[in-house]
Each structure stands twice: as structure tokens, then as C-alpha cells.
Amino acid sequence: MNKKSIFFCLILAAGGLLAQAQNNSLGKNDPAAKKVLDGLSAKLKSFKAVQSGFTLTVADANDKIQGSKSGTIYIKGNKYHINVVGGQDIFCDGKDVWTYDKSSNEVTITKSDPSTQTITPDKIFTDFYDKDFLYKLNGESKMGAHIVQEVELTPTDKSKPFFKALLYIDKTAHTLVSIKWFDKGGTKYTLQTNKLNGNATFTDAQIAYNKAKFPGAEEVDLRN
């Protein structure tokens, strides 16, 4: 997976993550699922700054693993830093995004446009409401040391590139354990979180892009 696909997959997977869909005329939502999502939402509202490990796995329609990446994400308000093991760092200050690729020693700079991006990494661990999903509770299961409740999300807009997302939420802690996202081409993405700290202590400067930390990196500015 290249730097763009890693970021794109993470964003899309996270989009299903916290979508708390509103009731709408296109279908009926499950009250039991809403209760689970409300619990998750309340927990997320208590977070001040987030640090969490993650693993993103990509599989084909036959469940054959195509690739896997892991790393750590730091989020504070609309600012974030994603560090991917293997030489990729993504920074956002709420206005611009810097994506550094170690293999090419290159930094690509783009604008962060919330008006056109309904799904952004800063929403991964924040209270995110979306009117474009229907949801239902599929039941409970054990996932590692967690008893999780599985909530299924389906987009009401059938033109979206994905058709389903499954959220696995810890029944007791009301935190996200994993999400699976399915695209129409048969590819399956699994995003797992670990070592989640909702009261992490780091400054804005610590998660901001600092040119001095990437000596000699070529900057490709695509903001204009």
C-alpha cells in the first residue's frame, strides 16, 4: 500500500467508525444500536486528547491478506499526527495536511477542507454525527479480552464506494475495539485500536509538522 492508499483507507474506515446516523425516511434504525452508539458517543465526549495504537489490514474478497500497516495516532481537537511504522507521517493543523514519505524523502502538502471531506481523521475519536447511515445491532461476541457489541452501518447513498461497515464496541468500556469496512470491489479493511488513552498529554507543537525533523525532504505544495 502506498502513502496515499494507506491514508485513504484509514479515513474511509474511520468514517464508518463513529457515524451515529439519524432517523430518516429511507429506512428504520434499530433503537438497541442507537443505545450502543449513544454510549460510545458519551465516552468519546469525555476524551481531552487521544493517543492510540492502530493496525490497518487489507484483505481481498477471499479474505487473503493484501497488506497490513500499524502505527500510532495522536488527536487533539481538529489537529492530528498519524505515525505509520515503516516511514510515513501525516500531520494536520486543521487547515493543511503534510504527508511525509520516508522512502522518497518527500513531503506533500494539501489543504484540509472540512466542507468537502465529510470524513477526516480528527473525527476518529470525536463525537461524529452523520445523517447518511442506517444502523442495526447484530449481537454480542468475544474479541480478545473484550465482550463487544457489533453495530452494522449501511450508507443510504448507494453511490458511495463502500456498502457496509461493522463497528465492534466494548460493551462495558463503551470504546471502539475494531471496525471492518467493505468496499464494492470486494476489498475488506479492518482497523483495530489498542492502548487507547483518552487523556493523553502532549502539546500542539508535539503533533505539528516541523520541517527541521525531516532534513533534506523535498516539499511538494499542492495547496494552490
Task: Supply the pTM of this predicted model.
Answer: 0.76
Per-residue pLDDT, averaged over 86-93, amounts to 89
pLDDT tens-digit series, residues 145-197: 999 999 998 877 777 777 888 989 999 999 889 888 888 889 898 888 888 89
Question: Count of domains in the chain?
Answer: 1
Q: Which of 85, 81, 58 is nearest to 71 (CA)?
A: 85
pLDDT digits (tens, 9 = 90+) for 44-70: 778 888 898 989 888 998 999 988 889
What phi, psi does 23 have (nearest 5°)?
-60, 140
Q: Residue 217: which of 80, 111, 110, 109 has the closest Cα?
A: 109
Find, among 188, 209, 192, the residue nearest to 124 by Cα: 192
* Contact between residue 181 and residue 205 where contact means Cβ atoms under 8 Å apart: no
3-state SS of the chain: helix, strand, coil percent to 5?
A: 15, 45, 35
Structural domain that includes position 35 = 3-221
Angle at 203 between CA 200 and CA 204, to 5 degrees: 120
Query: CATH no. for residue 137?
Result: 2.50.20.10
Give the integer Cα–Cα distance in Å for 69 and 182. 18
**Structure confidence by residue, pLDDT tens digits, 128-149:** 434 567 889 999 999 989 999 9
Q: Single out the residue of 1, 4, 5, 13 nearest to residue 121, CA to CA.
A: 13
